[in-house]
Chains A and B, each alone.
Chain A
């Protein structure tokens, strides 16, 4: 399968709160899971990625967790700031088809 489901589609939080975005994938052979941030009118940019041999990865206020058994992975943003407002995309590599499939995106709005 080639599906990557992403939830929620929109997420509103207050500044300082945490935000969690979840994705599930269907290809058990997927081994690379990046997260991209796209600000309004800008290009997608990688913010963090994780490979299948690791369960968790952190970079300052951002962390990603991976549960291979359940085939889901999540993005965690702590102490959110207004500049975190953007659309976030998860993605999963589909090895047999040699491609990256993106989730449908989550619009995160952080209110001051």
Chain B
């Protein structure tokens, strides 16, 4: 009964490939997020969805495309992967946007070779 789950946990791929990360939450939350945590541990917001609608899209290359098929799922697709995309990607969810506890998934460690 994991609250926020992500798959896969590890992803190793070659430059130029396309990959997807999936996220699901069973908390009934309205808002979901994608964060990127780089090697220096900085946590940076990438996208946020509220009730399947995109509410924030930070300055992220358009190679990154989020998709929310329903309120409980927020997937991240990445095209033409680059070395600099290597990081840990966290999905999170909260009931209210931005002023409520965010529950993070376990993270997906992406390594681009």
Contact = CB atoms under 8 A, between A and B. Distances in A.
A11 B98 CA distance: 28
B43 A34 contact: no
A78 interface: no
A41 to B, nearest CB: 9
Interface string A4-29: 00000000000000000000000000
A100 B45 CA distance: 8
A57 interface: no
A99 B45 contact: yes
B56 interface: yes
B43 A44 contact: yes
A104 to B, nearest CB: 6
Nearest to A107: B41
B104 A45 contact: yes
Interface in B77-106: 90, 97-99, 101-102, 104-106
Contact of B106 (A43, A102, A104): A43
Contacts of B43: 44, 89, 102, 105
A98 B55 contact: yes
B63 interface: no
